[in-house]
Amino acid sequence: MSDTSAPQRLPLRQVWPETQAAHYRAAGYWRGETFPGFLRVRAAAHPDAIAVVGGAVRWTYAQLWAEAERIAAGLLAQGLAPGDRVVVQLGNVPEFIAMVCALFRAQLVPVYALPAHRLTEVAHFARKAEASAYVCAEKYEGFDYRTLARELQREVPAVRHVYVVGDGAEFVSVAALDGDRAALPGDPDPQSVAFLQISGGSTGLSKLIPRTHDDYIYSFRASNDICGIDRDSVYLVALPAAHNFPMSSPGFFGALYAGARVVLSPGPGPDVAFPLIARERVTCVGLVPPLALLWADAAGKTAHDLSSLRVVQVGGAKLVPEAARRVIAGLGCTLQQVFGMAEGLVNYTRLDDPHEVVIQTQGRPISPDDEVLIVDDHGAPVPEGGTGHLLTRGPYTIRAYHNDPAANARSFTDDGWYRTGDMVLRTAEGNLVVQGRATDHINRAGEKISAEEIEDHLLAHPQVFDAAVVSIPDDFLGERSCAFVIPGEVRPRPAELKAWVRGRGLAGFKVPDQIVFVDAFGTTAVGKVSRRELRAQLRARFLAEQGA
Ligand code: OOB
């Protein structure tokens, strides 16, 4: 008898070749641990240690686990079934951590959206993941997510359930969830997909990244060793908690794995974070470069005691050597550079590396079995010390995106290498230095924006004849976005075009910072240049004119 009520969904898979998998197990990277497994063990081992601090909440490990089980049982009682995918869009609140732990406990699969995402992005994640539920806040940073939830259900009716942190209105409030603990499933297969992370989206829309229990737990367990996280550590989540960096490098999951304390900062600025550092005696935090510079500057003027800070990690975008010096001087603690990606590979400078290595490089991979290949445009390895495309494989780097054959064909070689899109060189000691990238995206203070995606939205405007979006160096953001626009018969105002992009339901960080109208895109024969070449030409011409 077939169960006609079971939804027909694409299975979630992440599979490494069997010889590799056997090696990763034998080497002790994949230990068969799972999220619910390790959380239960921690709750039993030190139930009264503080696990999560945020707002008025101070949960012990026992309380966090109890919350996770209450919500997990509640979600199953609501009719969700193991394997269902749930888009989670929450800010830096304790309920975010409780919710993802609950989803793991119920064998439901979180799909992480950032608070900045809007209808277009959230609907895309829900469709691609074939999600049946959406979890949001009533309000966060002034934005009303229940309205977004209503729009989402209109666009993607398969999202049958909405759960709200705060007042649920017509939806179910997370606080009200409850159910029979005996109905909870056992622990999942460690090789199964635990969640879907989202890619920076270098071409077109964000892709979904399936990460397994075994591979992800390895990445933050090993990160704990490299970053000096133990039971006495206090980790501050200053960046959006759903991002891979504060989640797992070593992030809040690393801290929970170690039995340490996680403190959630509702905002990334020194005004909000510094009082928390002083009060909770924070020892480690991860920042993007512009924030690190802000912090370094503010540290000299603050009355708050920051002396507990031991390690400040900086990553997500390039930290240039002069900025690295300022961060060390301003914050007076150990700097760790982090060069990672949600697809897997994470590189760190080590805490005992020589000063110049920490200043000049983005570090080296976590694992002895992270394979790094640096190749020229034709795929041939570059001579040692030369710059080329970074390709990687390893025990926590994915082999495929979910539900995206075209992206998989582009992003992975036949023998399983992931094309990172980054241009790097490797020093004689094996540290990587990021030199730029091969793909057209804008890295706006660590937030990745696909040029192609924004061009598509601009082209939908009736008075836009053509558009090309490029990155422009920016003193504060590292890079900002600039849209070159050939107007139609009537030239729209820049503010109008920005409002247009925002009105298309996109995250605010994707709205072009600058709009430059041009009559034409250059003299090269029309149709002969690729989009990439065109963007490069426009960018070069603009920078030359600015310099002149
Ligand atoms: C992190 O992850 P994503 O997925 O948002 O972005 C990955 C991309 C990299 O391919 C690279 O282009 C850029 O972000 N990136 C850096 C960098 N760290 C990331 N570029 C230069 N220098 C760095 N230090 O951004 C991410 C994930 C885990 C840990 C840290 C960052």
Q: Is residue 164 predicted with pLDDT exceeding 90?
A: yes
Confidence class of residue 439 from pLDDT cuts 50, 70 and 90?
A: confident
**pLDDT average, residue stretch 193-216:** 92
Mutate to test the pocket of ligand 1, among 339, 401, 442 (most ligand atoms within 8 A of CB): 339
Tokens of 143: 């934005």
Protein residue closest via CA to atom 12 of ligand 1: 422
Q: Look at residues 421, 412, 361, 418 and name the one whose alpha carbon lies nearest to residue 394.
A: 418
**pLDDT average, residue stretch 338-352:** 98
Q: What is the chain's Cα-based Rg?
A: 23
**Predicted local distance difference test score (pLDDT) of residue 322:** 97
Question: Which atom in ligand 1 lies closest to the alpha carbon of residue 441?
Answer: 12
**pLDDT average, residue stretch 322-336:** 97
Q: What's the CATH number for 442-547?
A: 3.30.300.30
Calculate what percentage of the chain has a pLDDT beyond 70. 97
Protein residue closest via CA to atom 6 of ligand 1: 341
* Under 8 Å between Cβ of 314 and 335: yes
Q: Do domains 36-45+59-188 and 442-547 have the same CATH topology?
A: no
Query: What value does the mean pLDDT of the chain take?
Result: 96
Question: Which atom in ligand 1 lies closest to the alpha carbon of residue 197?
Answer: 4
Residue 515, classed as helix, strand or coil, is strand
Q: Is residue 200 predicted with pLDDT exceeding 90?
A: no
Does the beta carbon of 268 sit less than 6 angstroms from any atom of ligand 1? Answer: no
Confidence class of residue 1 from pLDDT cuts 50, 70 and 90?
A: very low
Tokens of 487: 């107007």
* Under 8 Å between Cβ of 55 and 61: no
Distance set, CA 451 to CA 142, 252, 442, 448, 532 (Å): 28, 31, 7, 10, 10
In degrees and rounded to multiples of 5, residue 407 shows phi and psi of -65, -35
In degrees and rounded to multiples of 5, residue 191 shows phi and psi of -90, -5
Q: What is the DSSP letter of 46?
A: S
Higher pLDDT among residues 522 and 19, named by residue: 19
Sequence ranges of the domains in the chain: 36-45+59-188, 442-547
Residue 91, classed as helix, strand or coil, is coil
**Predicted local distance difference test score (pLDDT) of residue 524:** 59
Mutate to test the pocket of ligand 1, among 196, 314, 341 (most ligand atoms within 8 A of CB): 341
Protein residue closest via CA to atom 22 of ligand 1: 318
Residue 237, classed as helix, strand or coil, is strand
Which residues, 6+ apart, have CB-to-CB distance to 6 below 8 Å?
none
pTM as predicted: 0.96
**Predicted local distance difference test score (pLDDT) of residue 5:** 57
Express each pLDDT in 221-261 by its tens digit: 999 999 999 999 999 999 999 999 999 999 999 999 999 99
**Predicted local distance difference test score (pLDDT) of residue 528:** 63
Q: Is residue 2 predicted with pLDDT exceeding 50?
A: no
Express each pLDDT in 101-147 by its tens digit: 999 999 999 999 999 999 999 999 999 999 999 999 999 999 999 99
Confidence class of residue 7 from pLDDT cuts 50, 70 and 90?
A: low
Does the beta carbon of 258 sit less than 6 angstroms from any atom of ligand 1? Answer: no
* Under 8 Å between Cβ of 469 and 454: yes
Does the beta carbon of 318 sit less than 6 angstroms from any atom of ligand 1? Answer: yes
Q: What's the CATH number for 36-45+59-188?
A: 3.40.50.980
Question: Which atom in ligand 1 lies closest to the alpha carbon of residue 249?
Answer: 29
- CA 28 – ligand 1 centroid, Å: 26
> How many angstroms separate the CA atoms of 229 and 224, rounded?
5
The maximal CA–CA distance of the chain, rounded, in angstroms, is 75
**Predicted local distance difference test score (pLDDT) of residue 437:** 87
Does the beta carbon of 246 sit less than 6 angstroms from any atom of ligand 1? Answer: no
- CA 315 – ligand 1 centroid, Å: 6
Does the beta carbon of 63 sit less than 6 angstroms from any atom of ligand 1? Answer: no
Confidence class of residue 203 from pLDDT cuts 50, 70 and 90?
A: confident
**pLDDT average, residue stretch 302-322:** 98
Does the beta carbon of 422 sit less than 6 angstroms from any atom of ligand 1? Answer: yes
Q: Which of 46-50, 297-301, 542-546 has the lowest mean pLDDT?
A: 542-546
**Predicted local distance difference test score (pLDDT) of residue 6:** 58
